[in-house]
Structures are given as C-alpha cells and as structure tokens.
Chains A and B, each alone.
Chain A
Amino acid sequence: MADDKEREGPDITVAEFHKKIKDAFEVFDHEANNTVDVREIGTIIRSLGCCPSEGELHDLIAEVEEEEPTGYIRFEKFLPVMTEVLLERRYRPVPEDILLRAFEVLDPSKRGFLLKEELIKYMTEEGEPFSQEEMEEMLSAAIDPESNSVHYKDYIAMMVIDES
C-alpha cells in the first residue's frame, strides 16, 4: 500500500525483482519446467532492462550454466545471479547522448548522416560485428530510402520514443 512506502526496505526490492525475473523467465519457459533454452537468456536479460555487451553476456551465461552445459538454464541458478545484476544496476542502457556521440565519431565530417555502405561497414567489420540478419533488421528501420543514408539524430529520437 502507498502509505507503507516508508517501511519498505531492501527486502521488498529483492522480492519485487524476484517476481519480475520470474515473470520474464516464465514467458520463455515453454515447457513450464523452470528451464529455458540458453539461446533465450540474452533476450530475457535484455528484456529486464539490462544492456550487456556480447562479451558480458557470455560471462553471465557461464555463471548460470550447469558444470556440464546441457543447453538449458535452470531458474534456480538464474535467479540469484540476475537479482545481483539488478541490485547492482549493472549493464545500464546506453544514454541517448553517448549514443549520439558514437554516431558522430563515425561521421567525423559532421554531415549529420551516415551512408548505408558506411553503416554496414562499421557494423559488420568493427566491434562485435553484426550478423547479416541483424544488419538487415537495423537497415530496414534506419535507412531513409530516398537518400540511402541514416540520419542518426532522427533515428535515435524515433527509437527512444518507441521504447518509452
């Protein structure tokens, strides 16, 4: 209840996190046996608002996997690890301004846009490269077909609205 707010402490937060994690886990637990396919862990973690890099994700998976990996992750192992992540506010999403600056780094001449070929080159050759599917997906929403380029400021603004 609203007037009980003052009495809330870390216990309530942990309990709420537990429920949130359980909810998200259950959506992907197709067989209702408290396990999910390891390939869905990334989606679950990200759907809880965290943004680990691919490398950080691999580390997390290693933490929750069985000693002998079965291809499935059990809820009992996932819950404590994920609760810690949420409590420590790890892997916070990229703030809008940092994202904007990242695009600006790739656009040193400050045109305000990136050409399709340029975006493809950076996304598929640098960092933790995109797969072809990921690249196509990003292009479908980002590219302005008339100019064949990404006006990144507008693109970021659009994505931010969509998420809120």
Chain B
Amino acid sequence: MSTHNLEDMGCGTSSVKDMRSEQVLKAALVIQNWYRGYSTRLKARQRYALTVFQSIEYADEQGQLQLSNFFSFMLENYAHIHEKDPEIAARLFGSTLQDYKDRQDYVAFVDVPNSYNGPRLQFPLTFTDIDLLVDAFKQQQILHARYVLEVLFETKKVLKQMPNFTHVKTSPSKEITICGDLHGKLDDLLLIFYKNGLPSGSNSYIFNGDFVDRGRNSIEILMILFVSFLVYPNDLHLNRGNHEDFMMNLRYGFTKEILCKYKIHGKQILQILEDVYTWLPIGTIIDNEILVIHGGISESTDLNLLHRVERHKMKSVLMPPTPLDGDPDTNVKKKKFNATILPREVKTSASHSEQLTKHEWEQVIDILWSDPRGKKGCYPNTSRGGGCYFGPDITSKVLNRYQLKMLIRSHECKPEGYEICHDGKVITIFSASNYYEEGSNRGAYIKLSSGMAPRFFQYQVTRTTCLRPLYQRVNAIESSAIRILRERIIARKTDLIHAFQLQDRSKSGKLSMSQWAFCMENTLGLNLPWRSLSSRLVTTDTNGDVNYMSSFQDIHIQKPVKEAQSTLIETLYRYRSDLQIIFNVIDSDHSGLISVEEFRSMWKLFNSHYNIHIDDFQIDELAERMDLNKDGSIDFNEFLKAFHVVHKLDKLNKSGSGLA
C-alpha cells in the first residue's frame, strides 16, 4: 500500500469535508514517514561515527599495551642506557621518592606567594575546602602546587590504610551514588554535584576509576575527589581505573596537562602521583552483594587473592613482572644483541619483593581492563590488548562463587551513559558526557540502596543554552570521526596503496566496493562498516566502483625535513604516541631533551622490535637535521610536533596531533 499517491481519493467518499480530511491524513503520513526516515538515518550516522571513535580508541589502547613488551625488551637489552642512567631502571621498578614523615617537610620549599589569588586550603581539611575548590574551579582558577602536593601527600597516607576492597553498607535512608569514568571533564562532575549534592556523611559516593586523561581538567577533578575523600574517608570511595597509571597519562594527556599548568613543580607532582595511584583501592563491595570495579572480570578472577594482594606493587599496566635471573629467554636475547651484562644495581632493584607475581599482575589487569560481551566464555580482549571479554556465563559463575548478585563497572562509553547486560547482572556506568565529541553520548550515575532497584540519572553537558538541531550535532560528530579516520588512513598510505594495487591488476585506479572494503579492513586493522562510510572517504564512479586514490587527495603529513622518504614519515607519524612515551620515560628529569646518541639507539631498538624496516641511515640523517642547535641534543617534543597531518580543506587551523 503506497502512501505516496495523493490523487487516490478512494471510492465512495461523498462530501468535500471527507475528501479534505483524507487528503490531510495522507499528507501528514507522507511527511511523518519522510521525517522518521530522515531522523533515523541521522541517528544511524551518529552511531557509525561513535563506532569509528571507539574502534580507533581501542586500537590505540592496544598499541599502548604492546609497548609493555617493548619496555621489557628494552630493559633487557639496552644496557648502554642503564650504565649511563640507572635512574631509568630505578624509575621503572622502584620508587625514587624519599619517604617523608611530615607533610610540612615534604612541601617545605614550596611557597605560596601573597600575590596568589587562587583557593587556599587549610589542613586539616573540612567541607568548606570542598566548597572552596568547587567555586574556584568553576571560575577556572588553578590550585597552587603547594596545595596539590599537600593533598597528594595526605591522600597517599590515608589510602595506604585502606584495604584493597572497601565494604560499604546502604539502607533505605542512606543511598549510595555510583559514578563512572570522568576523564578530566570537570563540567560533568560539577553537573553531578549540582543534581545530586556534594559528598557528605549522608551523601555517599563511589567513583569507579578513570578520573583523568583526555579531558582538560584532570587535576581539578583529582583535587576535588581527593579533598572530598580526605574530609569524608568513609563516604567517598575511589576505585582505581586503567587510566590511573602514569604510563597511560604519558600518552593520553594528563602528564602534559600537569607540566603545562605547573611549570615549576610539575615533576614533583607527577612523581608523587605515580605513588598515589598505586594505593587506590581495587574495588568496592556494597551490602555484600554488589561488586563495583572499573573494568570487569575473567574466568579465573579470584577475589580472595585480590583482597590479599599488595596492590601498591602494581605500578603500571605497561610494566609486567620481569622474568627471573637466569631465565633462558633473557639470556638468549642478551646474546643476540651483544649487550653487556646489566649492572648489579639494576638487577637487585628488580627483585621479586618489589613486584607482584605474574598471576597476581594478571588478576589486577583483568579487573581494570576487561569488557563484558554477549558471547559465552572468556576470551583475550583483542581490541584493547589487555584483560579479556567475558560472557554471561562467566558473570554468573564468578558472582555465584562469591555469593554476589551484581557487577557494576565502567570503562566503556555508552550512548545513554549506562547499559545493562548479562540478564541484568552487569551494569556499565559512564559519567563523561560528550566523551568523543559534543553530542556523542550522555553521562549517567546510579543511585542505589539495599532492597531497591537501582535508579539511573542521565545528563548531557552542553555549552549552548539551547541544543542545536539534531542534524547539526550529528554533522559535527560525523566530521570529527571522519577526520581522525582519515588521519589513520594517511598514516598507512604506502601500505594501503600496495594492497590496492595488488587487487587492481588492470591498473585502472578502481576497485569494486568489496575489494576496497577488504583492503581497508585488513591494512588498518579496524573493524568498521566500510561500505556505509565509503561515501565520506572515497569517490565512486557511475558503476559504483571506488577510485581508491581519492582518499589521499586532500590530506598529507607535514614533512619536518623535505628529503625524508614517505614511508619513514608515515611510520614516525603512526608511532609518534609510542615514541613520545618512550622519550618521556628516558627523559626522567622531564627536561624535554635527549641526546642524539640516545635517539639513535632508541630508534634502532624500536626498529628491530617492531619490525619496521627503516634504514638506520635515514634515521641518523633525520636525527642530524633535528638537532637544530647542533649541541648533540634533540628537543623531542619539537621533533614530534613536526609530524602532523595537514587537512588541505582546513581553512581555519592546522589539524591537531591526534587523539591524545
């Protein structure tokens, strides 16, 4: 039955009025039908854009975790750096922080000048300090480094006394509020406090990890949460997330935020922060029924072991326990590279008393990194590269093992801010609205008390007073997603062209949609709806065939040095986040400089481990040219900044440096 034919008057209608109302009915149907189709297509585009963001985010995380292998490799073989700089090994394995007993001693040399206009905290902290901070941060003030250090110092002291899992009780008159990832979005935290009230003795909160990275106000969020914790240690519960990890912060922006906001004391802040992270509890258990942890579980999750484990030995997800001395693998690798034996000091600091066992480490990784999925069983989490995917049967098994009823976790962005799965046994709660882009998703929080069903509250922070029309919001998200996808594509230009040409025997410059999609998926390793995205990425001819070179038209990578080859540039661009992290770790005093010698050796190691096949000679040349002062040192931030993607159609600014 077609609703399109307005001429069809039907039969037997006699009065003009009837005819008119039938016409109106049909017209309304046409418009409604059209609008609904249009509106759902908009929403589908929005969903596609989110899929793009998410795939790239997880692929990035996988890259991050692969770095851990590289670090182990580096430490085992790069003796040269160790001889010159045992600090690196110490930095990675032990705490270089001197143990101060007194807060005053710790901040003795940090003065707050009279000219400082920001908030001044008073120890011992009270609820007035919470109000003070919230007001100050609303006005975009920055808390002085001295107070930051003091808060971190005190927080570490109090956290040390907390067990791995905090047990809380609720009652009908005392509900608890659970929030998920905030990722440095201060507006969301302020909105939650506005809607739900500040934390207090009668208003308990659990913050389920990932307070930092990506957003611009990670330090402000930490300060509000830590101060609230110090004032109400029994009512403000903090669980560690996978981003409460100094290695993740190096890549995802928090380290940069601190070094920018605190130019003088940033290093000191970063140092103590590393420690504070390790003392964050692993999870919370509510009413002996509900387990609240950041990521998820695995088949082998052992809550008893996790209750006992020395959690502060988990420095970073990128630093798995190293193998034993005399481990056959280590010796083989050493022989291969002709490296000198590692100095004694390094070995002893890597002793087992300072690390978790491999099994313990894996247990914690599972808690921080796993994701629930519909498929039964437990599988390695291949998107992120760490933790696992766990099915509804695993959830039932583990919950039953410990007589628990429900798992509340975060870690994944959900369009509605929350999602229920596994027959109501698993809830995902995510509190950073507009996570990928303005309009990408809502944030949410849960309120619950024993005996009552959990209640969900959603919100979405918006800069404007009235929401833009849906199509404008979707266009913005879509453009953003396509933009970062195109950056991925250009970073793999040589490999992609190679793959295309293999399929294009007749050298016509065209491929079928199927062939194009196949090449894209295989080369980029991103599982995306390529056919649906194709109209935004390539041009097609009248037959529906793809002009595969058209993706590379309006975009190129800026070459820092003109003569450098494309493949070199692409590789460096692709790995620039990894390189940045490695450089940051080597540069333990955060001076921003590494020696040309270190750069060369670093690159050679990286090259061999990642199997990159870039000529050492080319790297040497590049290093030479990047040493602008000719003083034997490279400002690697400048080096990395030099690699950025230029979108030719950008009239306003050059594109930024990627996701971090």
Q: Which residues of A contact B (CB under 8 A)?
A: 1-5, 15-16, 19-20, 23-24, 26-28, 30-33, 35, 42-44, 46-47, 50-54, 93-95, 98-99, 101-103, 105-106, 122-123, 126-130, 134, 137-138, 140-141, 159, 162-163
A127 touches B37 (CB 8 A): no
Which of the candidate stretches B19-27, B161-169, B353-361 sits at the interface with the other chain? Answer: B19-27
**Complex interface bits, B20-64 against A, C-beta within 8 A gives 1, otherwise 0:** 000111111111111111111101110110010000000000000
B504 at the binding interface (Cβ < 8 Å): yes
B39 touches A137 (CB 8 A): yes
Report how far A32 CA is from B468 CA in the complex, Å. Answer: 32
Residues in B with CB closer than 8 Å to A26 are 529
A103 touches B31 (CB 8 A): yes
Residues in B with CB closer than 8 Å to A30 are 374, 419, 421
Please tell me which one of the listed residues A43, A106, A134 contacts residue B28 in the complex, with CB atoms under 8 A apart: A106
Residues in A with CB closer than 8 Å to B28 are 102, 106, 122-123, 126-127
Report how far A16 CA is from B513 CA in the complex, Å. Answer: 9
Chain A interface mostly helix, strand, loop or mixed? helix
Q: Could you name 17 residue pairs across A and B whose Cβ atoms are closer than 8 Å? A: A2-B510, A2-B541, A23-B530, A33-B375, A94-B4, A99-B30, A101-B6, A103-B31, A105-B6, A105-B23, A105-B26, A122-B28, A126-B28, A137-B469, A138-B35, A140-B469, A159-B38
A32 touches B532 (CB 8 A): no
Residues in B with CB closer than 8 Å to A4 are 512
Q: Which residue of A lies closest to B517 (CB)?
A: A19
**Complex interface bits, B453-492 against A, C-beta within 8 A gives 1, otherwise 0:** 0000000000000011111100100000000000000000
Please tell me which one of the listed residues A5, A15, A24, A33 contacts residue B529 in the complex, with CB atoms under 8 A apart: A24
Residues in B with CB closer than 8 Å to A20 are 531-532
Number of A-B contacts (CB under 8 A): 165
A126 touches B44 (CB 8 A): no
Shortest Cβ gap from B173 to chain A (Å): 35
Report how far A51 CA is from B347 CA in the complex, Å. Answer: 68
Residues in B with CB closer than 8 Å to A103 are 27, 31
Q: Which residue of A lies closest to B33 (CB)?
A: A53
Please tell me which one of the listed residues A23, A99, A128 contacts residue B531 in the complex, with CB atoms under 8 A apart: A23
A23 touches B529 (CB 8 A): yes
Q: Which residue of A lies closest to B503 (CB)?
A: A1
Shortest Cβ gap from A109 to chain B (Å): 13
Report how far A103 CA is from B373 CA in the complex, Å. Answer: 46
Interfacial residues of chain B within 479-527, with CB under 8 A of chain A in the complex: 503-506, 508, 510-515, 517
Shortest Cβ gap from B393 to chain A (Å): 12
Please tell me which one of the listed residues A1, A5, A27, A42 contacts residue B47 in the complex, with CB atoms under 8 A apart: A27
Residues in A with CB closer than 8 Å to B41 are 46-47, 163
With A32-B374, A134-B39, A159-B38 as given contacts, are A141 and B470 in contact (CB-CB < 8 Å)?
Answer: yes
Please tell me which one of the listed residues B4, B32, B505, B541 contacts residue A127 in the complex, with CB atoms under 8 A apart: B32
